[in-house]
Structure 1
Amino acid sequence: MSVWVTVGAMKRVLSYCSRRSLWQQRSFLVTSSVKEDISYSSQQLAHIWSTRQQTCLDKSLVSSVRFYSQGRIHSDDLDDKEQHPSSSLSQSSLPAEIQSDEKASRQTRRWSPFIDHLESCASPSDVLDLTCQYAPTFRQVSNCLTQMWSTTKKMAEEQRRYELQLMSEHPAFDKLLQLAMKGAGHMSNEDVAFSLLCMVNLGVPQHSRVVQTFLRACQENLNDFDEKALSVLASGLEHMENCPNVLALKDGMRLVVEARLPRIKNVKALQTMMRIMGKNVPLDLKQKLERKALSMKDQFSLPNTHYMISTMAVMDFYSKPLLEVCSKTFQENLHGTPFNKLYVVLQSCRQLHYRDIDLFTGISDYVASTIDIWTKKQVILFLSVFENLTFCPAALMEAYAEKVITSPDALTLQDLLCVLKVYSNLNYDLQHQRQQFLDSLSTALDSYLPKMSGFELLKVVYHMCLLGHFPSAPLELLLQSSTLEKFNTTVPRFLPNQEKMFQTVNLCLRLECPLLPQPLTLPPSVPGDPVPSRSSVNLNLSEGLRRVLGDQADTTLQEMVTVENFYLIDAVITKPLQNQTSATSAGGECSPAESSQRIAVLCEPHSGFCYGTSTPRGPLAVKIRHLKILGYDPVLVRLGHDHSLSLAEQLLILILILFFQVTEQELQSASEEFLRERVFPEHQQAEQLGP
């Protein structure tokens, strides 16, 4: 008798046999002890991929590949109290889109009263009590774990710790995990991924049987995971320590994403895939993702641009073309953008070391113009992230200064510390409002002085000194012996940053001589020995200076000069003044300090300046201020790899423009003889007079 079997029936039979075989293998591995760790590398997984492609019965099954690893499983008790470092109570959150999708999908699953009761539970223990009254199905186990995790996310840290301790001691917790382990093969892919994520965040040990069971369940069905399930799985793996099963899953996910990439037509799906990849993505795959994203840039909506910038930060992938596309769209639609999106974009730019002055200026101007709609905390967070970006948001700082002047009492101590740090480090000149602003801050600080710790007081005084403001109350309190003794009780006595702060305060008091009710100085033993870290001579700078100075006998060059045993100057050029040269030749006498000009050449990195400007930041601004008091004329030379001019050319232009009144038009057509004549006119006059 002939038996006819359709191709569809054959596929279903083979698929069932394949799933049955793999499930039996996984069950055996969970309940037995394996003596060897066997894991597949990415190369081996790629080989499996290509081998199975050749044995597929139909082209539609080409991408159906199983990834699994036979790693060692530790037989830890499920109620073990010992937390694995990687399974700490990390409050990882999924993207907002996935959270909303999850909420919607869960709401459609009201197949029993159990779900209605579950949603009213306010703690993990409430959920476990409910499982004692109702026997949850395999599918409802995932809902239980999700509700347990959701309730803990809303708790304070101390309460969360207490509730999780009660959860681990609850007799129903072990039963729930046993039921989850038995039902892993019967859950949907989405439920498996969510269950794994929730268990990790609830502190279930990573090497326990239940977690390893779910890892293998994910491996077996990885090719059937959609974008949402893959994203949830990636969020769970992000907080797990590497082990054979985790590594196999990560490698498998990369292969799945790379295989699906050409078929992606939706921007949101692409962004989900990019987030799944995480930071440890091979460069060639990042470049493929970049090309795919750029090919879809015309489809980017405004939410897509927000999400793409943060996605690149998650991947730690700097793509200038992609960032520029998103930045431009973002700038054009700033109005009405909520705080969280603005803040996330700025934070992402910081993580990626991406700087766009137009984007930053646009956000600063927008926040400043709508400052009344933002809370005090939001404005301070904006100021703080701008300071971290080394960008000076002039409009926002001006607008916020007016707020402080109007109501200084509204600032908390932490607000004051943040505001002082931002305004001093960015060295923003408030001009006519400066004194009012500083006096308002001093008034607000006075009420908090008794509550401050020694380090907080030191930070307040240090930032005030950077601003050139010396209120007597915090200074007197800091310099009291009782306050200084608090630093002596710590080991080490001073942290490096504390010691540098004390040294800066000491120099400000000594060099700037502020008007105080009584003279204040630090004891010599407090600041320590302020010896600057000496670096090697910059050969390019040295060569450029010698070429500019030529063989002038009356001009001296000193390199790596230490001033006040604290400030390091890269080079000092000492040059006689023209009028004093004439007076000396006529028989007059002048002191060396009065008869010469000392030019202090400072080579500073870009981090020493506010981004996009020539404004020096706080510590560099104080250094320049002090050098001027000591009789130097500072000349700043920026160091950087992206300059088209050489170091010597920058130096020559700065000296000529700042000190010898050479215009930029003259510089464009000037010869070397002309420039030398302008720098050293006295020698030119001597040559004209002759012997």
Structure 2
Amino acid sequence: MNKKTSSFLWNLRQLNLNICPFGSSSIRRMMKGDHLELQKPKITYQNSILKNLLLLQSLQKPLLSVRFFCQGVLVFQLEGSEIQKRRLNTLTSASVGKLLYPRQLSSDSQCFFMSDTTPHLAVDGPKKMMVPLEHDLSQKEKQLDFVKHRHLIKHCNSMSDVLDIFSKFPRFSSCNYFISMWKIAKNMSEDQKRFERQLLYEHPAFNQLCDQVMKEAKTVKLQQVIFTLYALIKIGIPQNTYLVQVLLRVVQERINECDETCLSVLSRTLEAMGKSKNVDALRAGLRLLVDKQIWTLEHILTLQTMMKCIGKDAPYPLKKKIEIKALKELDKFSPVNSQHMFGALAALNHRSVILLNECSKMVAADIHGCPFWMLMSILQSCRDLQYQNLDLFTAIADYVTTTFDMWKMKQVLALLLVFESLRFRHIGLMNLFLKRVVDISQSLNQKEILCILHIYSSLNHICDSENQQFLEAITSALNTYLPKMSSFSLLKAVYCFCVLNHFPQEPFNQLFQENIINELLTSGTESERTEYMLHQVNACLELEGTSVLKSTAITLRECSSAPFRSHVDIEEMLLNLLENKRLFLKNVQLPHNYFVDFELRMDSKRSKVFPVSEADAFIAEPDIIRVALLCVSRSAFCFGTTHPRGGLGIKMRHLKALGFHVILVNTWEIKKLDMSLAVTFLKNKIFSQEAFPTAPGFAA
């Protein structure tokens, strides 16, 4: 017996020397140097099965090396409900060290070891120890099956129930418990989540579970750590807690272990987190990893998730790489991938016109059935990227128009508001919505009324058949809110009515009260915008308002003149066309802070141009008209049309009231032409169709 004992002790010493060549004191020093201040589990033989192995080996003759410590050992591995068996003939010392690690051989491991090399003379001893192992194996299999998060969800109705089970099985993988909590909380309302979270914090096992998660973080698979971190954030555990920060640090240290699944989940996690030093450091590391692994990614959704995570601050070369990768994978895009690409590019702040055009085609072709939130996401992303696609916008608007009855009023209003920000005017949808507003006008709240007025005035939309009925209905709805409206909201509503050429008396009388005007002029909020709208309202009352309202116009100080815009190229084209600099004026200032880029004096048939000095003598003559040339940019029109928007529309009305014939010159069109074509373009604009087909004769 003494010989067997000495043999066992000799093997144990050899094992210790091979695994820990630096000695126990060195191990203690290394453990103290842990930057996260997490104490690693001690290397001990906690598993009774491993003790059985050591005892069995001690019954044999002394082994020459620890390399053969597990020679002839059978590995029984649980796979589903069956136990698979394989043999290990040789295991190196490094592998033994790994086997002795508590995470790999703790009681919740799915691998169990038994020896088939026991000498015959020692059969009785080992058999007695192996008998309960079969019973333990079946029990362990049931328990392992129970604590998987799928089964936890079936047995639990709340997050606290999960902690109750953890109290009974504290040695099983802690990651499953938090993942189960998240999947249970997914279907809860915000109030219920808040209540459940409070119960969670008060549960006596919560701190124990958090400690176990932190202890296991460096030893379990990285995928489990990342899923746990994602679950914590989704449950609502505060980001600045020690638990979350420790997991962030662990992921930083092990980020090179990320596979595609880890990258996808980690991207979703960081996207949901606010800024902090650890989050920013991890996001920077993720960018480096994406830059390295971009060409190996297989799934489009993973690429899009990472685009949303790495954000607008990503370097341009990385954004370009992502764009090239997405273009290479275009043939794999599903309709859903195409829809999500808009939001991904907006989050990345990368305007890839080629990619957006291709995705727009796919979205427009498969628009039916697209949910409201996705339509809103696509349109908002287009607005953020300053991307406009007439076919895409028309397809979305046509789809909403066709299925108009299935949409809520608030949903259509939200879509129209985004369309307005994109300068897109869909006549059919706006007319249909206008009719619904007439039917439900009395149920509209103040915010909805102001939004509707803003949309229709900004796009300068007038429905000939329903316009008067619409304006009366919206005015009646607004009048109920006049006593409690803020001064600035009232001014915006009145300004919108002016753009729509509608002058209801009650809102105007309410606005022009002395205390409201003084409040608007003295308040510092949006002072320039306030001053501009007041001048426009005053101009409307003086130039085109009714006689009842003209007396309400107020005296305002002269606002600062708008800066003159220089149009040297168009001036040169006019000189080529008219051949006389005295035949036009440029940058003409007019009352009410209006100005025109070029002014000409022409006969009533617009066939002849007079010099300004000569025209002055004929100002009283009815045959002489003043022609205003306005050089307008693309943004002054509704997208894809030559329909003027609200600001340009009201200016054209007022110039006509001042006696001008208004001609619009589209600068973006004329700049694309060479000089000869541009001169012809201007000639067709300025002279009427009844004018001479050749250059007209000008006065000397």
Per the TM superposition, whether the score is higher than 0.5 is: yes
Equivalent-residue separation in structure 2 for 1:341 and 1:352 (angstroms) = 16
Match of 2:190 among 133, 137, 154: 154
Instruction: Give CA-to-partner distance per residue, 1:62-94, whole Å, 9 cap, x none.
Output: xxxxxxxxxxxxxxxxxxxxxxxxxxxxxxxxx
Distance 1:184 1:589, change over 3 A: closer
Aligned length: 562
Distance 1:648 1:612, change over 3 A: farther
Which residue does 1:612 correspond to in 2?
640
Match of 2:513 among 480, 483, 488: 480
CA contact (8 A) 1:532 1:568 kept: no
Matched ranges for 1:431-442 at <5 A? 431-442=464-475
Equivalent-residue separation in structure 1 for 2:422 and 2:666 (angstroms) = 18
RMSD (Å), alpha carbons: 4.2
Which is further off, 647-656 or 352-361? 647-656
The amino acid of 1:439's aligned partner reads: E
Task: Using the TM superposition, give the Cα deviation of residue 643 of structure 1 relative to its aligned residue in structure 2, in angstroms.
Answer: 4.8
The amino acid of 1:543's aligned partner reads: E
Larger radius of gyration: 2
CA contact (8 A) 1:142 1:191 kept: no
CA contact (8 A) 2:339 2:378 kept: yes
Which is further off, 463-472 or 274-283? 274-283
Equivalent-residue separation in structure 2 for 1:550 and 1:296 (angstroms) = 57
**Partner SS, residue 303 of structure 1:** helix
Which residue does 1:361 correspond to in 2?
394
Which residue does 1:303 correspond to in 2?
336
Equivalent-residue separation in structure 1 for 2:620 and 2:433 (angstroms) = 48
Instruction: Give CA-to-partner distance per residue, 1:187-217, whole Å, 9 cap, x none.
Output: 55344334445666747364x6444322221
CA contact (8 A) 1:599 1:634 kept: yes
Distance 1:561 1:494, change over 3 A: same
CA contact (8 A) 1:231 1:273 kept: yes
Match of 1:120 among 158, 163, 178: 158
Task: Using the TM superposition, give the Cα deviation of residue 414 of structure 1 relative to its aligned residue in structure 2, in angstroms.
Answer: 1.7
Match of 1:446 among 450, 458, 479: 479
Task: Using the TM superposition, give the Cα deviation of residue 415 of structure 1 relative to its aligned residue in structure 2, in angstroms.
Answer: 1.5
TM-score by length of 2: 0.70
Equivalent-residue separation in structure 2 for 1:294 and 1:378 (angstroms) = 33
Equivalent-residue separation in structure 2 for 1:147 and 1:482 (angstroms) = 57
Task: Using the TM superposition, give the Cα deviation of residue 564 of structure 1 relative to its aligned residue in structure 2, in angstroms.
Answer: 1.7
The amino acid of 1:120's aligned partner reads: S
Equivalent-residue separation in structure 2 for 1:562 and 1:514 (angstroms) = 26
Equivalent-residue separation in structure 2 for 1:139 and 1:395 (angstroms) = 54
Which residue does 1:10 correspond to in 2?
none
Task: Using the TM superposition, give the Cα deviation of residue 276 of structure 1 relative to its aligned residue in structure 2, in angstroms.
Answer: 4.0
Instruction: Give CA-to-partner distance per residue, 1:308-337, whole Å, 9 cap, x none.
Output: 222222222222222122111111122222
CA contact (8 A) 2:542 2:550 kept: no
TM-score by length of 1: 0.71
Which residue does 1:566 correspond to in 2?
593
Match of 1:550 among 569, 579, 586: 579
Distance 1:116 1:629, change over 3 A: same
Which residue does 1:9 correspond to in 2?
none
CA contact (8 A) 1:603 1:638 kept: yes
Task: Using the TM superposition, give the Cα deviation of residue 496 of structure 1 relative to its aligned residue in structure 2, in angstroms.
Answer: 2.3
CA contact (8 A) 2:163 2:206 kept: no
Which is further off, 330-339 or 640-649? 640-649
Task: Using the TM superposition, give the Cα deviation of residue 135 of structure 1 relative to its aligned residue in structure 2, in angstroms.
Answer: 8.1
Task: Using the TM superposition, give the Cα deviation of residue 583 of structure 1 relative to its aligned residue in structure 2, in angstroms.
Answer: 14
Percent identity over the alignment? 32
Which residue does 1:661 correspond to in 2?
689
Distance 1:191 1:498, change over 3 A: farther
The amino acid of 2:640's aligned partner reads: G
Distance 1:114 1:601, change over 3 A: same
Instruction: Give CA-to-partner distance per residue, 1:352-374, whole Å, 9 cap, x none.
Output: 21111111112112211211010
Distance 1:565 1:171, change over 3 A: farther
The gaps in structure 1 that reach 5 residues or longer are: 1-12, 15-19, 33-106, 687-691
**Higher relative CO (CA 8 A, sep ≥ 6), structure 1 or 2?**
1
Matched ranges for 1:326-475 at <5 A? 326-475=359-508
**Partner SS, residue 293 of structure 1:** helix
The amino acid of 1:30's aligned partner reads: L
Distance 1:514 1:221, change over 3 A: same
The amino acid of 1:573's aligned partner reads: L
Equivalent-residue separation in structure 2 for 1:249 and 1:580 (angstroms) = 71
**Partner SS, residue 559 of structure 1:** strand
**Partner SS, residue 356 of structure 2:** helix
Equivalent-residue separation in structure 2 for 1:659 and 1:500 (angstroms) = 34
Match of 1:313 among 326, 346, 360: 346
The amino acid of 1:534's aligned partner reads: P
The gaps in structure 2 that reach 5 residues or longer are: 1-18, 21-25, 39-144
Which is further off, 408-417 or 347-356? 408-417
The amino acid of 1:624's aligned partner reads: M
Instruction: Give CA-to-partner distance per residue, 1:582-630, whole Å, 9 cap, x none.
Output: 999xxx9854474533222222222211111111111111111111111
CA contact (8 A) 2:239 2:245 kept: no
The amino acid of 2:585's aligned partner reads: Q
